[in-house]
Amino acid sequence: MSRLLGSLLDYNLAKLDGHMVLATSIVNLDRECEEELEMLRAANPGARIEFEVAGDCRGVFDESRVREALGNLVSNAVRYGVSSRPIQVKVTGTDNTVELAVTNAVESAIPDTELALLFEPMRRGATNSSRAEERASLGLGLFITKEIARAHGGDVRAVCRDGLVSFGIWLPKTKALSDRLST
C-alpha cells in the first residue's frame, strides 16, 4: 500500500512541478544495484535474477531513486516475463554514463508503438495473473522510472526482439553535480 501511495505522490509531483527532486551524492551504482537485487530476489524467490557489471559505475546519482527505478524494471520483468527464463540485469559504466538494462523473455512480441506507450502514466501491459498485487498496480512504475532517469539528465529505452524485451535507463555520471554547481 505504501508503494502505491508513493507512486501516486511521485506522479502528482511530476505533473505539478514538471520535475522530480533528487538527493544526489557520489555513488557506486554496481553496489547499490546488487543490494537492491538481493532484496528483489528475496521478495521473488521463484524468479531467477542474473546480474552483470561492466565498467566503472561511479557517478553522482540519487541512489534511492535509482534503486527504485531498478526495482520497477525488475518487478515488471517478474510480472510480465516468462517465469521459467532468467531475468538479466546488466549495469554498464562508460566514461560519461551508466546504463541499467533489464532483459527478460516474453511470450509474444510487443510492438514498438506499444513499447513507447508503456512509459506513459496509467499504462500497464497485459498479464494473465490474478494476484492482488498485480491488480492493485496503477501502471506508474515505468512512468516513474522515466521521470527518475530524466531528473538525472538521462532517458529510458525499450526494445523487443527475438522473444526478449529489454527496458533500460541511461544516466550521465555528472549531470546532477553540474546542475548543483551552476545554481
Confidence bin at 118 (pLDDT 50/70/90)? confident
Tell me the per-residue pLDDT of 44-61, one tens digit each, with 9 for 90 and over.
Answer: 999 999 999 999 999 999
171: which strand partners?
Answer: 98
The answer, yes or no, to whether residue 119 has pLDDT greater than 90, is no
Q: What is the mean pLDDT of the chain?
A: 83
The model's pTM: 0.82
Q: Which three cell numbers stand for residue 73?
A: 524494471
CB atoms within 10 A of CB 38: 12
State the fold for domain 2-124+133-172.
Answer: Heat Shock Protein 90 (3.30.565)
25: which strand partners?
Answer: 61
Rounded CA-CA distance 70/136 in Å is 20
Q: Which three cell numbers stand for residue 172?
A: 550521465
Residue 10 confidence (pLDDT): 53
Q: Provide the H-helix boundaries in 44-174.
A: 63-80, 112-117, 132-135, 141-151
59: which strand partners?
Answer: 27
The arithmetic mean of pLDDT across residues 82-101, rounded, is 97
What residue ranges in the chain does DSSP mark as E strands? 25-28, 49-54, 58-61, 87-93, 97-105, 155-161, 164-172
